[in-house]
Structure 1
Amino acid sequence: MLRATLKSLLARKIRLVLSMLAIVVGVSFVTGTLILADTLNRTFDSLSADINKNVSVAVRVVNQIDPTSDSGRPPLPASVLDTVAKVDGVRAAVGSVDGQAMLVNPRTGKPAKEGGAPGLGTNWTGGQPTASEQLAEGRAPGPGEIVVDRATARDLHLALGTRISVQIKGVPAAYTLVGTFRVAGQDSLGGAALTAFDTATAQRVLLAPGQFSSVHLAAVPGLGQQELRARVAAVLPAGDEAITGTQLAKENASAVQQAIGGFSTFLLIFAAISVFVGAFIIFNTFTMLVAQRVRELALLRAIGASRRQVQVSLQVEAALVGFAGASVGLLFGAGLAVLLRAAVGAFGVDLPSGPLVFDARTIIAAYAVGVLITSAAAFVPARKAASVPPIAAMRETYVLPTRSLRTRAVAGIALTALGVLLLVLGTASAGKSGATSVGVGAAGIFLGIATLSPLLSGPIIRVLGAPFVSLFGTTGRLGRENAMRNPRRTASTASALMIGLALVGAFSILGQSIKESVRTTAQNSLGADFFLTGQGFGQGFSGQVARDLAGKPGIEVATGLRGGLVKIGGHDAQVLAGDPAGLPRVLALKKVAGDLHALGDRTILVDDTTAADRHLTVGQKVPVAFPDGAQDLALAGTYKKSQVAGSWIISTGQLARHSTEDLDLFVLIKRADGADPAAVRAEIDKVVKPYATVEVRDQSEFVAQQEKQIDQLLGFIYVLLALAVIIALFGIVNTLALSVIERTREIGLLRAVGMSRGQMRAMVVMESTIISVFGAVLGVAVGSIFGWALTKALASQGINTFAYPVPTIVLVIIVGIVLGILAAVFPARRAARMDVLRAISAS
């Protein structure tokens, strides 16, 4: 039986290749994602270890919000450096200064890393026992001088001796470039523009004189990290901590791994969609192969093969196809990982060099997906094959019996009803739980509609095929009848396409709804005429900008907004901070209780929904934990829930007490009544001109920028969903190609009675197009429901407007038509070129 199975596979090479395609694409997506994640994790682990390999112990202030995060961590006084340097076993103690410093491209006047990796500043410690930096060119910096990482100097074509502007805490200052350096043997630190100053300058501009971000210690030879950490911890004042260099390296790598993990999960979701679509194709393929091999299977039964042997033979055949597809997919996955890595680099993130990592889990996942999915999809066709009676070998007209569609109808209705119920529950819930319920409900509806599709195919295809009959007469009627001939096969093929196009439609609806919500929010919830934002990843700009704009001609309000992570009631919370006088006006806050203008340095505001959930009343003390400690703030007032303001608002002064940075993320400007917008814009441009990282936009430009970001994300999602659509396209090609082989004699008879080659090609193309449009129509219907439900479920996240993108939905239908035409090219050509006499004589 094994020999017969292998001969059967090798005798049908085209079918073998077509069967493998869906598995190859799905497996390559899964393995490519895993290889990329493992490679990046291994690379950044190694880089982090190399950076901290000379650090035995690190001393820092405890971060009360997130012990492992440096964001918001208070600085150390320089006296701590003197204290720990005297500890027995410390060979060297080196103070480290870290902060934001964006290098400005001298040729363009723009930030060195526009929209990509951040700009970082530090003090030069090269040559110290704890350092990992090495000079590549030039010398160490002195007062008024800097050195930059080698990659940035190369990318910006910087020459030593050049005067360069650096935005530090948003304030520009000029320095002389005297050298370039590498970090742990790498030209770049993840693509960041890294600028190093002498220690005194770094303290003055990044922190404050006499302060360090942390202190790094090197141990004397033979002393372990844990032992030195214990000795250092014993002399530290309360609120400071000592950790080993190994722990520091793990923390730094962990932050990167979390980001990589989130990105990998995002990609794996789309990989799962591709595999799910591929399962439909495999099921369809093996169903057709079994139907075409009825006589062959019956002959096996007639010469003594048992039902079990026939079923096992086909399951082995499926497993071999899955194994071959997984092997090819594993190789393609490595290539995909390289492409994904290059795509990440295109966004400004310069990844450290390193070989691709093939972990055991990747190989296991590849063959698990390939073999298990293929075997599972072939199980039902294999059972049908085992039921072929030996007597069938004597009859050319025997076909496999099919069950009534009644069972499918009941199952499909049940799945669809369950999916609709989950959708309803999801739309009634808020936040992540609601979106999860909607996602599971959508999967239920997908399966339900796919199960029901054989019942839907007849009437829908009859309508969709009517124009072809009217335009092309008998040829069009034959194309439509061929599409209706086998409802199960047509439905399975169309369902694979339905899933991909439904998700495209759903995300289009979600994206359009987000854009409409942004536009509505900007008009109704933001009382600002101009918006100032910073360039670069998470880069703020000096609070001096808002202070300089206040009181300028034509400007009624200019207030900066900044944010911070705190703990309120033991839970992480994001607070918005702003000027108490201007904030309620530019955010159009609606008072519910108390006095919103009573916001001050010891008060806090909260939205009414959060106040009700936390049982808070005006005047009550609210314990707020900042990175440097806790403080009770009095609740001054509550406001109507606002997607822009968030749940908690404090004053800028209050946040400044717990932060060393004077950085705004936004400045909102409201012009005075009757002021000329052009004149006000000119005044703003004049103030912000020295700040290279600040961008000025009016309300329409601000909305357009947000819409552009949404479109970019949607474009990335569409590219990922395109793989699922491509798999579905292979499925249509596969179905038509096998259908042409199945109908060889019929095609010969049609040609014998006068059908031309052109008419034969047209018939196959029309059959393919009708199937594709059927899948597109189902996709649009399901995608519209999914998109509406997802929009409703995310209402609490600020998506308060439902918008239906008619042009995009029409484009989805057009894509369905184009896919049908493309899928028919090879099968139609094969059908048209058949030798008529051989076709008629085929059995």
Structure 2
Amino acid sequence: MRTPVLRTQLSAAARRPGRLLLTGLAILVAAFVVFGTVLAQQITERTARDNLSGTPAATDLVVGDPQGPPPPVATLARVRSVPGVAEAAARLEVGLGVNGSFVNLEADPGRGPLSTARLREGSYPDAPGEMAVTPRTAQRLGLTVGSVVTATDVQTTPVRITVTGLVDTAEDGGFNAYAPEDVVIALGGATEVTRIDLRVAPGESAETLRQRVAAVLPADVALRTGGEVRQQEADEAASQVGALFALVGMFVAIAVVAAALVVTSTFRIVFAQRMRQLALLRAVGAHRGALVRALTAEGALTGLVAGVVGVAGALAVGHAVPPILRAAGRAVSSPGVPAGAAVAVVLGAVAVTVLAVLAPAFTASRVAPLEALRAANTTAGRRGIGGLRLVGGLLLVCGAVLVAALAIARLPKPQQEEYSAMPVLLLLVASGALAFFALVALGPLLVRPVLALVGWPLRQLGPVGRLAVGGVGGTPRRASAVSVVVALGVTLIAGVAVGGASLRTLMDRELALSAPADIEVTTAPGATLPDQVVTRARAAEGALARVVPYRRVDGLTLRRGAERLGNPESAYTGTDLDVAALPTTDQLDVAQGRLADLGPGRIVLGDWVARDTGLRVGDQVSLAVDARTTDVRVVAVLPDTGPLHAGVLADRTDFDRLGVAAGWSGLLADAARPGEDGRTAAVQGLRQAIGGADGVGLAVLADSRDRDGEVLATIVWIAVGLVSLTVIIAVVGVGSTTALSVVERVGESGLLRAVGLSRGALRTMLTAESGLYGLIGATIGLLLGVPYAWLAVRALGISAPLTLPVLPLVGLFVALIALTALAGVLPARRASRISPVAALGVDG
């Protein structure tokens, strides 16, 4: 009977390719995602190799290696004198102080094939005392072609430099300038260069020239070909891509596990619909083993078809997208055709499907031959779980709780100096995995209690709502199988959202200390700002929203009577910055007390100062500078330091009592308008206020704040995109489950239509059932995701607060319900079109 049974099942599956693809739809999507990830990595690596090398394409040889000693400046002349060298360009850079800001001056020929800077306006420097700047640098520093600035070189010697032109470069950070190599060497007092790029003269052999150049180089200076250097630079960029895609692979693996769970549930439905046929095969002599092999072969065929279609779809999309992006002006390389990876993905799809079909196949093979006498083709699904599964699920719950408790016990304590986050994070991953498998095992028992809670509003809407809730609750194993996958996706996304929001709050608190405003104007230690600078800055209406000057004092001490508190050799830095005038004050974290209580006779301490002195909120002490003191009370303690890295925040009247000079040490200012244009206008307004004042510097604090915020936002969005793969698989599972259940419940649908249920009401009922799968999964996912995310943030040891992004979490909750409901729309429309008479005759 083995061969006839196998042939019967496979021929039946082949006759219905639509049902075959529907059954393996989750595997198809998983194969598409996996092979699409392979192609995406190829595209990214090839794009990195083709476009991310900083070495000009015309460079034939490179003298020097970052891993070895740099070439001496004297080597440059010797290399240029070698016959066959058409051009030699030295690469080095030096930092300058221009208008109180840092400028990175790089050596570049400015013209020719070895140039990396392209002239945009004016002329390229060709004499000492000249430089060209990038457009953003010109805006930030208030420079134009022809501007003459006083810069300080590495020896802090004032140098007059003329801006001769504007240049475009691959990167413009707002602090980039370019000049010929001899100008940079002179300003930096350089005796070595980073490297020397060489171009071979036409008609010369690169290998012959390499031998000639090597003969004039010091023995320890490396000589490489331009191709080797470009390949190394591209490989370094590609290696970062590889590390990123290794992380992507972890999330893809989770999506494959989700697909396997969905396919397992789908096969249970399919086999339940064919119980009468399977019972007939048993009645005519088919053994259980033959049925298992036949059903497993059907699963393998499903995996093969789904894998091939998924790989083909990914290949088509992967080769169609790069040309479209190139047409839009993006430099994106096309992938190859990784045949080995394609075969591996297809075989993997077959293997995953076979593993997924085993449990349903063994269950279906136990059908009794007497089931062939039933009038219906399908059998009701089991509602409970077996004793072994119950015990296994409870053991998994206990394991998850115990491992989580162990992780909690190892969380960092306050002020703990030695701590490793990785072991605790691994424990949390293990606990989460155990919790997920416990959910898989005990899911059918959880569906009804959760459904009773979340389905209550739907039941109040009338008969259609009650029917939808009853339809889901009547098949708890099926509802559990789909909802668990939804819960997995929601857990991951909720974890990323909570973790990202908590890290964002921590970053905002830290930036409120280090960058409390958009721009800071400073003076040299011990110096003060000219009064007219503050006056003109306050008068710069339209460019600056607020100007907050401050005094900064080094050498503050805290005393109780004649006793000096803390380390006898330590003194603290204090400021009288009016924190209430800054919008970032609300983002400051307070360990003890209230920041709003800061005022005359009341101070705020950084945590390290409080620990060093042993002071707490409410303590009375004397604040001292040299021999003068004033009595103050501690009203708050910050977790680390105060704004601008000060250890003590005091009121201005207390500084006056201590005899601190009235002149301001610096000022903080915010741009009146958002964005780059507003920030540039604010910088220009402050530069006009500074005028020609000596020793006054300007730093744009908002740039680092924006960079940090963009990096965090990018990381969060990438993580959300990756974990969303699981949600996509879950939605596909809901759609296929609803579609198959419609076939299974044709008679039920006909009966409901016969007793008066309208087509619209039937569609609404089935769509609501699909939405309930998402509602159950989203509820369980949020209950699991938020605690695990909080523990993961605590495990990092960075003292980030628990921040619940309520709106994103609510949006996630609603979106999952909407997506799963939409997945059931088409099956519901199909069911509503069936005639009640035809439906009632299906099982007859």
Match of 2:337 among 335, 353, 358: 358
Partner of 1:747: 749
Aligned ranges 1:53-132 → 2 under 5 Å: 58-60=62-64, 76-82=71-77, 94-99=88-93, 121-124=106-109, 131=114
Partner of 1:681: 669
Asked if the contact 1:294/1:399 (under 8 Å) is kept, the reply is yes
Q: 2:835 & 2:424 partners in 1: Cα distance?
A: 59
Partner of 1:255: 236
Aligned ranges 1:522-537 → 2 under 5 Å: 522=511, 526=513, 529-530=516-517, 532=519
Asked if the contact 2:482/2:733 (under 8 Å) is kept, the reply is yes
Partner of 1:541: none
Kindly state the Cα deviation for residue 224 of structure 1 after the two structures are TM-superposed: 7.8
Name the aligned partner's letter for residue 438 of structure 1.
Answer: L
- Give the match's secondary structure for 1:262: helix
Name the aligned partner's letter for residue 198 of structure 1.
Answer: P
Q: Which has the higher Rg, Structure 1 or Structure 2? A: 2
Partner of 1:628: none
Asked if the contact 1:35/1:362 (under 8 Å) is kept, the reply is no
Residues 14 and 83 of structure 1: is their aligned pair in 2 closer, same or farther, counting only changes over 3 Å?
Answer: same
Q: 1:134 & 1:815 partners in 2: Cα distance?
A: 48
- Give the match's secondary structure for 1:681: strand
Aligned ranges 1:99-248 → 2 under 5 Å: 99=93, 121-124=106-109, 131=114, 141=124, 143=126, 163=145, 174-176=163-165, 197-203=179-185, 208=189, 211-216=192-197, 221=205, 223=207, 235-236=219-220, 241-242=222-223, 248=229
Identity %: 24
Q: Which moved more, 1:24-33 or 1:741-750?
A: 24-33
Partner of 2:834: 834
Partner of 1:634: none
Match of 1:454 among 420, 435, 444: 444
Q: 1:549 & 1:461 partners in 2: Cα distance?
A: 69
Q: 2:118 & 2:266 partners in 1: Cα distance?
A: 62
Kindly state the Cα deviation for residue 507 of structure 1 after the two structures are TM-superposed: 1.7
Q: 1:592 & 1:702 partners in 2: Cα distance?
A: 34
Name the aligned partner's letter for residue 376 of structure 1.
Answer: L
Match of 1:732 among 728, 731, 734: 734
Give yes or no for the alignment of 1:280 onto 2:267.
no
Asked if the contact 2:89/2:196 (under 8 Å) is kept, the reply is yes
Q: Deviations over 1:627-666 (max 9, x none)?
A: xxxxxxxxxxx99999xxxxxxxxxxxxxxxxxxxxxxxx
Name the aligned partner's letter for residue 505 of structure 1.
Answer: A
Aligned residues, how many? 687
Partner of 2:528: 551
Q: Deviations over 1:206-255 (max 9, x none)?
A: x556642213467974858997898677634xxx5555656534431232
Kindly state the Cα deviation for residue 271 of structure 1 after the two structures are TM-superposed: 2.3
Q: 1:165 & 1:396 partners in 2: Cα distance?
A: 95
TM-score, normalised relative to structure 1: 0.68
Give yes or no for the alignment of 1:465 onto 2:447.
no
Q: 1:344 & 1:210 partners in 2: Cα distance?
A: 46
Match of 1:758 among 760, 768, 776: 760
Partner of 1:605: none
Name the aligned partner's letter for residue 143 of structure 1.
Answer: D
Match of 2:31 among 12, 27, 37: 27
Segments of structure 1 that go 5 or more residues without pairing to the other structure are 68-73, 103-110, 112-117, 157-161, 181-187, 534-543, 558-580, 586-590, 600-637, 643-666
Q: 1:208 & 1:707 partners in 2: Cα distance?
A: 37
Partner of 1:399: 379
Match of 1:386 among 365, 368, 386: 365
Q: 1:340 & 1:32 partners in 2: Cα distance?
A: 12
Name the aligned partner's letter for residue 450 of structure 1.
Answer: V
Q: Deviations over 1:728-787 (max 9, x none)?
A: 122112112211211111221222223232332232233233332111111111112211
Aligned ranges 1:576-591 → 2 under 5 Å: none
- Give the match's secondary structure for 2:252: helix
Kindly state the Cα deviation for residue 475 of structure 1 after the two structures are TM-superposed: 3.1
Partner of 2:656: none
Q: 1:718 & 1:195 partners in 2: Cα distance?
A: 39
Asked if the contact 1:50/1:132 (under 8 Å) is kept, the reply is no
Residues 137 and 334 of structure 1: is their aligned pair in 2 closer, same or farther, counting only changes over 3 Å?
Answer: farther
Residues 467 and 528 of structure 1: is their aligned pair in 2 closer, same or farther, counting only changes over 3 Å?
Answer: closer
Asked if the contact 1:465/1:480 (under 8 Å) is kept, the reply is yes
Partner of 2:394: 413
Segments of structure 2 that go 5 or more residues without pairing to the other structure are 139-143, 154-159, 412-419, 535-551, 557-564, 574-607, 613-642, 653-662, 671-681, 691-696
Kindly state the Cα deviation for residue 842 of structure 1 after the two structures are TM-superposed: 0.7
Q: 1:584 & 1:511 partners in 2: Cα distance?
A: 39
- Give the match's secondary structure for 1:388: coil
Asked if the contact 2:60/2:206 (under 8 Å) is kept, the reply is no
Q: 1:555 & 1:496 partners in 2: Cα distance?
A: 66
Name the aligned partner's letter for residue 399 of structure 1.
Answer: T
Name the aligned partner's letter for residue 500 of structure 2.
Answer: G
Q: 1:309 & 1:316 partners in 2: Cα distance?
A: 10
Match of 2:486 among 497, 501, 510: 497
Partner of 2:793: 791
- Give the match's secondary structure for 1:471: coil
Kindly state the Cα deviation for residue 488 of structure 1 after the two structures are TM-superposed: 1.1
Asked if the contact 2:519/2:668 (under 8 Å) is kept, the reply is no
Residues 705 and 126 of structure 1: is their aligned pair in 2 closer, same or farther, counting only changes over 3 Å?
Answer: closer
TM-score, normalised relative to structure 2: 0.67
Name the aligned partner's letter for residue 481 of structure 1.
Answer: G
Asked if the contact 1:464/1:774 (under 8 Å) is kept, the reply is yes
Kindly state the Cα deviation for residue 339 of structure 1 after the two structures are TM-superposed: 9.3
Residues 676 and 820 of structure 1: is their aligned pair in 2 closer, same or farther, counting only changes over 3 Å?
Answer: farther
Kindly state the Cα deviation for residue 672 of structure 1 after the two structures are TM-superposed: 9.4
Aligned ranges 1:465-484 → 2 under 5 Å: 465-472=455-462, 474-484=463-473
Give yes or no for the alignment of 1:437 onto 2:427.
yes
Aligned ranges 1:538-577 → 2 under 5 Å: 547=524, 551-552=528-529
Residues 336 and 545 of structure 1: is their aligned pair in 2 closer, same or farther, counting only changes over 3 Å?
Answer: farther
- Give the match's secondary structure for 1:79: helix
Partner of 1:653: none
Kindly state the Cα deviation for residue 479 of structure 1 after the two structures are TM-superposed: 1.9
Q: Which moved more, 1:399-408 or 1:261-270?
A: 399-408
Q: Deviations over 1:802-837 (max 9, x none)?
A: 223333333333234323432332232222221111
Asked if the contact 1:127/1:134 (under 8 Å) is kept, the reply is no
Q: 2:199 & 2:126 partners in 1: Cα distance?
A: 27
Asked if the contact 2:529/2:665 (under 8 Å) is kept, the reply is no
Match of 1:367 among 321, 327, 346: 346
What RMSD over aligned residues (CA atoms) do the two structures have, in Å?
A: 5.3
Q: Deviations over 1:142-165 (max 9, x none)?
A: 51798999xx99xx9xxxxx9599
Residues 173 and 298 of structure 1: is their aligned pair in 2 closer, same or farther, counting only changes over 3 Å?
Answer: farther
Residues 367 and 165 of structure 1: is their aligned pair in 2 closer, same or farther, counting only changes over 3 Å?
Answer: farther
Q: 1:165 & 1:289 partners in 2: Cα distance?
A: 78
Asked if the contact 2:769/2:821 (under 8 Å) is kept, the reply is no
Partner of 2:506: 517
Kindly state the Cα deviation for residue 119 of structure 1 after the two structures are TM-superposed: 9.9
Give yes or no for the alignment of 1:322 onto 2:303.
yes
Q: 1:407 & 1:264 partners in 2: Cα distance?
A: 39
